[in-house]
A and B are shown apart, each in its own frame.
Chain A
């Protein structure tokens, strides 16, 4: 425990360095800059779409209000991940393309390639860096691919738009199910508390999704992962103390 706590503080020192804070805030600043330029373009050219300035503002506000619920749900998950990755890496990885599940899976797979597990004594600063690299490079691929494909798709008539639909459905779904099944099964032999956390999380998710569908509560679907994580952690805390 002492060993793992000293590596924890080493990781924390690397992950929370002032330079990374600056870069994390810069990345979020780029998002705000983009929104600012886009809004100016919409406002200046609104008449081109028979749109009034009032409608532009209404659309902006409606989009913002609709995003409050999903944003708070993401915040809950992000805070639960802070002890593992530190604040600036979480702001960048959750703030840009990707999701809590995608990033955690990437980090876990990356740690596995050097025989380490996220969170335990084998999770050294070196492993943290390998995990951060893998998450960042994977996120970069989405962005590069968008930069390359968007102009091609914009020209229309692209063969890309007619990829075999069965291929589109089967391979990614199979890959996703296999990765998460593998990662989940990998947790089970670690300890009975790992099994407990996995099962409690899975049960809470199942209940949330069932209630969301039965009572038609869409917001519950967004919050389900946050509730599952908190439930799993509370169960693990009670079991360890």
Chain B
């Protein structure tokens, strides 16, 4: 099936592309500026004692884990989302669990064939619909209802939530990662390295080592996986986290 468009239709599509590109870039940039300004505003409006060195160190430790994703995720999602969708997706997040499924449902609802203009429009409209639900649920259910729930909770419960939220997230996420990535060898290596670094190396070395314990786990695991990687086992699923 080959669809042909008239010159008038091409002009309309060009207008759509122009508007979504310009406004997509602008809104993503503004979102980036406000979100990034927040911690700096906290820093300059309170008397908290945090140095630039501490911030840079913390950021480097985090980037050691996610640095590859900053580049790989935009490249991976581009063929799925197109230019307009990229500026929506990387502002809103929740790409794989919320936005892409919404776009697919919408395309099948109106019977738009993949790769057509209609499919691109349907995806944009669907992601916009998803964005409205996303923002509304956060504002009403987390911002208003959630804040109220936390305020009436007895301190004994919020205290437990604060102290034990981390292990309660990590146990589940670890299992989810293992099940999703299906990389038996990398899983075994990463757990072995973690046990070795956290339980054996860190307690017996200066405090500096413990500051970078996660970065050390990451570098060691990636190095071992990379150098033991055979040419034939490269059918792994690519890892995406957004």
Partner of B135, one of A40, A46, A95, A185: A95
- With A63-B127, A110-B61, A232-B167 known as contacts, the answer to whether A171 contacts B222 (CB < 8 A) is yes
| Pairwise interchain contact B15-A41, C-beta atoms closer than 8 A | yes
Q: Measured between alpha carbons, how far is A98 from B241 in the docked complex, in Å?
A: 8
Q: Which residue of A has the minimal Cβ distance to B97? A: A70
List the A side residues contacting B197 at CB < 8 Å. 182
| Pairwise interchain contact B128-A74, C-beta atoms closer than 8 A | no
Contact residues, B143-182 vs A (CB, 8 A): 143, 146-147, 149-150, 155-179, 181
B3 interface hit (Cβ, 8 Å): yes
The 8 A CB mask of B8-52 against A (1 = contact, 0 = none) is 111111011001100111011111101111110111011011100
List the B side residues contacting A154 at CB < 8 Å. 83
- With A28-B138, A168-B238 known as contacts, the answer to whether A181 contacts B37 (CB < 8 A) is no
A80 interface hit (Cβ, 8 Å): yes
B114 interface hit (Cβ, 8 Å): no
A49 interface hit (Cβ, 8 Å): yes
Q: Measured between alpha carbons, how far is A72 from B143 in the docked complex, in Å?
A: 13
Q: Measured between alpha carbons, how far is A25 from B159 in the docked complex, in Å?
A: 27
The 8 A CB mask of A73-85 against B (1 = contact, 0 = none) is 1110111111110
Q: Which residue of A has the minimal Cβ distance to B197? A: A182
Partner of A45, one of B15, B58, B101, B149: B15
| Pairwise interchain contact B146-A39, C-beta atoms closer than 8 A | no
Q: Measured between alpha carbons, how far is A12 from B10 in the docked complex, in Å?
A: 54
Q: Which residue of A has the minimal Cβ distance to B84? A: A38
| Pairwise interchain contact A177-B127, C-beta atoms closer than 8 A | no
| Pairwise interchain contact A49-B121, C-beta atoms closer than 8 A | yes
| Pairwise interchain contact B138-A173, C-beta atoms closer than 8 A | no
The 8 A CB mask of A52-89 against B (1 = contact, 0 = none) is 00011111111111111011111101111111100111
Partner of A67, one of B98, B121, B170, B181: B98
| Pairwise interchain contact B135-A236, C-beta atoms closer than 8 A | no
List the B side residues contacting A51 at CB < 8 Å. 110, 112, 117-118, 121-122
| Pairwise interchain contact B146-A160, C-beta atoms closer than 8 A | no
List the A side residues contacting B199 at CB < 8 Å. 185, 189
Partner of B73, one of A42, A142, A160, A179: A142
List the B side residues contacting A31 at CB < 8 Å. 27, 31, 91-92, 131, 134-135
| Pairwise interchain contact A42-B38, C-beta atoms closer than 8 A | no
27 residue pairs bridging A and B, Cβ less than 8 Å apart: A23-B38, A30-B31, A38-B19, A62-B105, A65-B129, A72-B137, A82-B150, A83-B150, A84-B165, A87-B142, A96-B35, A133-B43, A144-B32, A147-B32, A149-B75, A150-B78, A172-B239, A175-B65, A178-B218, A180-B174, A181-B190, A198-B171, A202-B172, A205-B171, A209-B175, A232-B167, A236-B160
- With A41-B16, A51-B118, A165-B238 known as contacts, the answer to whether A136 contacts B39 (CB < 8 A) is yes
List the A side residues contacting B157 at CB < 8 Å. 237
A211 interface hit (Cβ, 8 Å): no
A-B pairs with CB below 8 Å: how many? 632
List the B side residues contacting A228 at CB < 8 Å. 168-169, 171-172, 175
Q: Which residue of A has the minimal Cβ distance to B173? A: A101
Partner of B190, one of A34, A146, A177: A177
Chain A: minimal CB distance from B124 (Å): 5
Q: Which residue of B has the minimal Cβ distance to A233? A: B168
| Pairwise interchain contact A38-B5, C-beta atoms closer than 8 A | no
Q: Measured between alpha carbons, how far is A200 from B168 in the docked complex, in Å?
A: 8
- With A23-B38, A48-B117, A177-B190 known as contacts, the answer to whether A129 contacts B50 (CB < 8 A) is yes
Nearest 10 CB-CB pairs, A to B? A63-B126, A232-B168, A48-B12, A228-B172, A201-B171, A64-B129, A49-B117, A63-B129, A178-B221, A67-B130
